[in-house]
Structure 1
Amino acid sequence: MSYSTIPVPEKLHAFVRHVWVIEFGQERATSVGEEVGRLFSIYADGCPGLIFQQSENGLLLNQKKKLSPVFLYGQTVAPIDMHSAGRSGMIVVCFHPYALHSLFKFSAKELTDDCLDISLLSAVRGRQLRDRLWNTGTAHEQVSMLFNYLEQVVEKNKAMADLGMAHATSRLFQSNGKMPLPALQRMLNLSPRTFERRFEQYIGISPKLFSRIAQFQAALKHLQSGKFDKLSDIAYTYGYADQSHFIRNFSRFTGLSPLRWQKHAYAGEDASDFPGMTRPI
């Protein structure tokens, strides 16, 4: 697997956090007739995004739904598994938490734990984008096309970052989910009900759930580092009531216990800043 991070153009800084280019070679079978492939998992990280994927045999979502070559995905609460066989690659554009509504003008809640073929959007010609990406040879050119597409969306929809939601999500990330929600409501001069409604419209989930995801992500990074003696150290550091509480929450967002996740992660080829893992199957 090859993996690289691409700088984000200044025009898109308000909407895009990261861009990753990931390419996989052909997996080798260990016996004659064995089917080989790759599992690509994404976990809750508080951010929606856009993926362009190019696979010889297509990409399956949770072994059921065949994914479009270019699609938007919303907030990921339940873990998402994507399966591919043969040579494949993808470009992942990770948005800021509030960007879906800001860019595309639909409620982010509509896309929570779901994805949408970008050719179905009327903002800018998504079908042309899909065809051009598929027929372009290099990842560098494909990334440039995606940036150009997003810049056109910004211009056509007169997209602007919501400063209130940007501030709220930033504070929750910085505090590892510990920032009291009433304090955020006072900062933004919003009633609890208005704050929650606006949060769900822009972010796609409730503020409380977003706080739990920020807490989980901080704990996950600590687990990845390996710098701990026992799981209870991580649990107490990030505000979980006890080790069992940490394990339950971790399992909800990954589908695995922390120890099982570690075994899978060590067997895989994970990038330290990517919210998931990839491994041969």
Structure 2
Amino acid sequence: MKYETYKPHPDLDSVVKCHWILEVPDDLEAPKQRVIPDGCIEMCFILGDDVRRYTFETEFIIQPRAMVFGQITQPYFVQPTGYVNTFAVRFYPYGFANFINQPIRELADKETPLSDLFGDQTAAQLELQIVEASTTEERIEFIEAFLLNRLTAPSTIDLIVSSTIEALSQTKGSASIHSIIKDDPGKRRNLERKFAQQVGISPKQLGKIIRLQAALKSILNQQGEKLTQIAYENDYYDQAHFIKDFKEFTGVNPKQYLDDDQMMLSSLIYAQD
């Protein structure tokens, strides 16, 4: 399994977290992989064999080969049908709102074909460039030219949204929305509305996801440390609170996480992110 990330162009680094590639050899016995929320939106191009996303335990859809996957609010499962070769762009929570006009909440928990967002001709041209490129560097050049051409003014993202996300990121998700907006009901309603439009989930949900990501990294990097200590290090009230949030977003408890072969992909990504 090969997973690598690449830094974006300086003019995009405020909205694009990274470009990434994933390659996995063909394996007919490959287990389903659990994908968990990370607060980001992904634009993905499937260059290898098709990938299934399970909608129920035994029911699945074939993912579009050029798509945007919106904010994830619960874990879901994917499974390759053969050789995995994916090129993708990972946007910061508010990043993708700079490139489309529709509310980001409409993209949540589903795949949206690029053609639905940018039109058939534009999407087909971009997909052809990505597919026919011979190197990752060429793919990055094509996708960055596309994004830079569509990048709107930075004022697209409201200050209240960017400052809230910054506060959540700096505190690893532990800052309360109450402390950020000083318990102003009108400001809170405005923040919730703008988050739905520009981020796709509520500020409270994003904070919980950011804190979970910090805890996941602690588990991966400090495998011998007790869960109680990890819970307190990441500002959970107690171990029970930690386990509850962990299961909400991953579907398993922290002890099962490291031994679950359905978490291999997530573990690889979050160990390097």
Q: Same fold (TM over 0.5)?
A: yes
Structure 2 matches for 1:15-34, cutoff 5 A? 15-27=15-27
Please name the residue that 1:249 is paired with. Answer: 245
1:224 matched residue in structure 2: 220
Specify which of 234, 249, 268 is matched with residue 238 of structure 1: 234
CA RMSD of aligned residues (A): 2.6
| Structure 2 residue 105 is matched with structure 1 residue 131 | no
Is contact 2:160–2:191 with CA below 8 Å preserved after alignment?
Answer: no
Give aligned pairs, total.
265
Q: For residue 52 of structure 2, what is the aligned residue in structure 1?
A: 60
Match 1:44 to one of 37, 41, 44: 37
Q: Percent identity?
A: 25
Compute the TM-score of the two structures, normalised by the length of structure 2: 0.86
Distance of aligned partners of 1:118 and 1:10 in 2 relative to their CA distance in 1, 3 Å threshold: same
Q: How far did 1:94 drift? A: 0.9
The alpha carbon displacement at 1:22 in A equals 1.4
SS of 1:120 mapped into structure 2:
helix
Q: Distance in 1 between matches of 2:18 and 2:94?
A: 14
Taking the aligned partners of 2:103 and 2:178, their CA distance within structure 1 comes to 23
* Secondary structure in structure 1 of the residue aligned to 2:130: helix
Cα distance in 2 for partners of 1:244, 1:97 equals 28
Determine the structure 1 residue equivalent to 2:177: 181
Taking the aligned partners of 2:261 and 2:184, their CA distance within structure 1 comes to: 39
SS of structure 2 residue aligned to 1:233:
helix
Q: Give the aligned residue type for 2:63.
A: L
| Structure 1 residue ranges without an equivalent (≥5) | 28-34, 276-281
Map of 1:64-213 to 2, 5 A cutoff? 64-122=60-118, 125-154=122-151, 157-158=152-153, 160=155, 162=157, 163-185=159-181, 191-213=187-209
> Deviations 1:225-275 (Å, cap 9, x if unpaired)?
125532111122222232222112111111221111111369836144557
> Which residue in the other structure is 2:9 paired with?
9
Structure 2 contact 18–91 (Cα < 8 Å) conserved: yes
Q: Which amino acid aligns with 1:137?
A: S
Name the CA shift for 1:89/1:211 in 2 (closer, same or farther; >3 Å): same
Runs of 5+ in structure 2 lacking a partner? none
Higher mean C-alpha deviation, range 201-210 or range 188-197: 188-197
Distance 1:104 1:36, change over 3 A: same
Checking the alignment, whether the CA contact within 8 Å between 1:14 and 1:161 is kept in structure 2 is no
TM-score, length basis structure 1: 0.84
Report the residue type matching 1:9 in the other structure: H
